[in-house]
Structure 1
Amino acid sequence: MEISFIHCADLHLDSPMVGLKNLPAFIHNKLKESTFTAFKKIIDTAISKKVDFIIIAGDIYDGEDRSIRAQIRFRDEMLRLKEKQIEVYLVHGNHDHLNGRWVQIELPPNVHVYPSMVTLEQFMKNNVTVNLYGFSYETRHVKERKIDEYARRNDANFHIGILHGNLEGATDHSAYAPFQVKDLLAKKMDYWALGHIHKREILETIPPIIYPGNIQGRHKKETEVKGCYYVELSEGDASLEFIPTSEVIWETVKIDASPVRTFDDLYRLCRNKVDEKREERYSFIISIEIEQLNLEETFLDSDLLEILHQDEVDADSFVWVASIKRQENTAWLKENLLKESAFYEELFAVSKDSELVDEAVAPLYQHPKAHRFLEELSVNEKQELAKEAEDLLLTMLMKSGR
């Protein structure tokens, strides 16, 4: 007795790829299309492997307005599955919640959309019954413990929970529909199909409790290959296969520049790293971080970037250097400044105050149009903003001769 399915989440179809319009047209166009291309790879895999069904654990669309273009492209893929008699079980998450504003495009009957209450959908095939439990977000901010509403029924061979939510204590995403692993284990499911976290993570193996991550990175913080899971469930056993779907991979590359003596040395180091990535036959957008650079002369990042961009042409795969950052050793400066004056002690203490980050970004979140499209900043994101501000301040102080 066995079933097979695809578990994916966080498609973010038609993501606007904000802040990337300065890229060459061929790269920007590929990025704009990348979420659709990644999703098509999932459907191709489902058809080639002849799965029983697909689970989509939230955030099918990038925004609550659900563009018509994204809805039609999504429906086209659902129709492909319908032709192959493959069912789809999906929940909507915080990005594409049920109370958004959109022109509704009707989906084919093989697509089962969960309402805002935890509901059971039943799949039956060849004398095998699967109970799939889940819910969609009614509004953007679902803070209650929806896990408490899940209740296993004893009328199926397999039980699968679908949950778009955040592990309690995790600080890298907003704390929506929070849960603990022990809560999921207590529900006695055979598989937990999670969504919301954009990084692939296996929380438990028996039974599998899985975040597949999103299907395509959208900015420099969503690094590494993205994808979905092909799952085979049998009585007392589960087989997981990760399926890569990224059309473009974001990556941060660190370069040890301690042996560099000239600008040409530095250029060759960067060029060699670009050529190494090119051999992998994927499309990359990379951020280069240069460490241990001892050149006395200064160099302009823009000049080095321009040289590295010269050889990049319109092709099926590319390696585009998005930024070059010189890692300054500012720890010693901070230590000396703290000894020098109580003013600096107060200044650096302020930089750790997350409430000041909230104050700084408040105008954006209070904007009558912008606020609908903004996700709450996680604890990690606030800390990163404060750290970047502190690093910028220290670099400016160092350049001023402090």
Structure 2
Amino acid sequence: MKQVKFLHTADLHLDSPMVGLRHLPKAIFQRLQESTFKALSNMMDEAIKQKVDFVVIAGDLYDGEDRSIRAQAFLRNEMARLAEKGIKVFAIHGNHDHLGAQSVAIDFPDNVRFFNGQVETAVYKKDDGTLVHLYGFSYPERHVMERWIEKYPRGVGADFHIGLLHGHFEGASDHGKYAPFRLSDLIDKGYDYWALGHIHKKSFLSEQPYIVYPGNPQGRNRKELGDKGAYIVNLTDSGAEVSFIETADVIWDETVIDAKDAAGFNGIYEKCLAAIEGNRRDGKGVLMDIRIERLNPELSDVVDKIDSGELLELLQDAEKGEDSFVWVHKLHFSEDVVIDRGNLIKQSDFYEELFKTIEQYDDLNEPLSPLFLHSQARRYLEVLSESEREQLVREAEQLLLQQLTKT
């Protein structure tokens, strides 16, 4: 039976600067700075352990187009580890590390094949004669907006066909619409597996054939939540098997605490401690956001301790010396206040107009523009997702109504 085994990863973003996180304790920030490198080492350990035939990297090996010497040297050394075991590597460059970048380049060992700026075919042949064709291209420049999928050939002349593409699945999100494609475009090529990159959340677009975004192997901010890793893929004459491997050294997470039955500060504190212990990972670090919901507004002393940051500091102090830390990055809360819209509308036409305005409000650009256009602030901001914009409007509505209905 013909068979081939490989590891699929993408979006390594080596040497990511972890913008806006320097306020973290020095040891935790340094751990986070090293995490993209550690994730790569973890992946290569797994590739060697599982004796894969080759590794495919679907773009954005480096975080920036300057490709720091340190990042290149680290990647080269990891590739050399694979070379010692006879494991090949097939890689494409994406929008972050495109070929048009002007940077000093380091030579890589012969087991590594980087695709050039045109769609090309790489050939891999096992000792038993199993033949694999891999198809892909590296971004010649940062902004690749054309439908490059149309340049990919149909899969013929080999036992297995694998496509590498760093691009945007049309209609899925607003995340950088580079090298767009439709699902039917990929399926029509007749490949056995599509190794995608660009989206930092793992997902299967199809299972016949497998069309896979592995996500990034290491989360870099609170939008990149949960387990991060890569996929081990087995292709055989009878089909494909895909299994996920965890690689992240530091995990971003979030949790919600229901404070409805909490009678005081100690009750809230104990719930937070339980949430921390419940999210601790052996040997890994965790950066976690906690949201306390349905907090009794009559517990003014508790509200004051949260508002002042004292509860957050208390939770953080206990984690400073932990190797398997759970660092509470942010602590939010909402009070258990029920707003009766119908009754408010009966009281005044003002509320009816207010609610209509809120429901029809869909433009946050104007109020947010002073922040996002600020020369210094915008360096530390990312574009808000649709869900984040909706949440921002809901929280603003809740705050406004609480202030208006205070007695």
TM-score by length of 2: 0.88
Residues 332 and 141 of structure 1: CA distance in aligned 2, closer, same or farther (over 3 Å): farther
> Residue 39 of structure 1 corresponds to which residue in structure 2?
40
Secondary structure, in 3 states, of the residue corresponding to 1:300? Answer: helix
Secondary structure, in 3 states, of the residue corresponding to 1:315? Answer: coil
> Residue 182 of structure 1 corresponds to which residue in structure 2?
184
> Residue 235 of structure 1 corresponds to which residue in structure 2?
237
Answering whether residue 328 of structure 2 is matched by residue 321 of structure 1, we say yes
Which deviations, in whole Å up to 9, do the C-alpha atoms of 1:259-308 show, x marking residues without a partner? 01111111111111112223655421111011111141123321111111
Give, in whole Å, the separation in 2 of the partners of 1:136 and 1:357.
39
Report matched runs for 1:153-232 at 5 Å: 153-232=155-234
Secondary structure, in 3 states, of the residue corresponding to 2:78? Answer: helix
> Residue 395 of structure 1 corresponds to which residue in structure 2?
399
> Residue 288 of structure 2 corresponds to which residue in structure 1?
286
- Structure 2 counterpart of 1:213, one-letter code: G
Report matched runs for 1:22-101 at 5 Å: 22-101=23-102
> Residue 108 of structure 2 corresponds to which residue in structure 1?
107
Give, in whole Å, the separation in 1 of the partners of 2:136 and 2:337.
49
Mapped contact 1:147–1:183 kept (Cα < 8 A) = yes
Residues 324 and 68 of structure 1: CA distance in aligned 2, closer, same or farther (over 3 Å): same
Mapped contact 1:260–1:295 kept (Cα < 8 A) = no
Percent of pairs with identical residues: 42
- Structure 2 counterpart of 1:191, one-letter code: Y
- Structure 1 counterpart of 2:113, one-letter code: H
Give, in whole Å, the separation in 2 of the partners of 1:110 and 1:396.
61
Residues 67 and 331 of structure 1: CA distance in aligned 2, closer, same or farther (over 3 Å): farther
Give, in whole Å, the separation in 1 of the partners of 2:68 and 2:312.
35
5+ residue gaps, structure 1: none
Give, in whole Å, the separation in 2 of the partners of 1:93 and 1:358.
30
Give, in whole Å, the separation in 2 of the partners of 1:74 and 1:159.
26
Give, in whole Å, the separation in 1 of the partners of 2:144 and 2:46.
32
Residue among 241, 251, 254 paired with 2:253: 251
TM-score by length of 1: 0.89
Instruction: Give, in angstroms, the shift of residue 185 of structure 1.
Output: 0.7
Give, in whole Å, the separation in 2 of the partners of 1:303 and 1:32.
27
Instruction: Give, in angstroms, the shift of residue 363 of structure 1.
Output: 3.2
What is the root-mean-square deviation in Å for CA atoms of aligned residues? 2.8
Instruction: Give, in angstroms, the shift of residue 392 of structure 1.
Output: 3.9
Mapped contact 1:146–1:177 kept (Cα < 8 A) = yes
Instruction: Give, in angstroms, the shift of residue 329 of structure 1.
Output: 6.4
Give, in whole Å, the separation in 1 of the partners of 2:67 and 2:180.
25
Give, in whole Å, the separation in 1 of the partners of 2:230 and 2:322.
26
The worse-fitting range, judged by mean Cα deviation, of 41-50 and 380-389 is 380-389
> Residue 304 of structure 2 corresponds to which residue in structure 1?
299
Report how many residues are paired: 396
Mapped contact 2:155–2:191 kept (Cα < 8 A) = no
> Residue 358 of structure 2 corresponds to which residue in structure 1?
348
Mapped contact 1:58–1:196 kept (Cα < 8 A) = yes
Give, in whole Å, the separation in 2 of the partners of 1:26 and 1:157.
49
Mapped contact 2:149–2:186 kept (Cα < 8 A) = yes
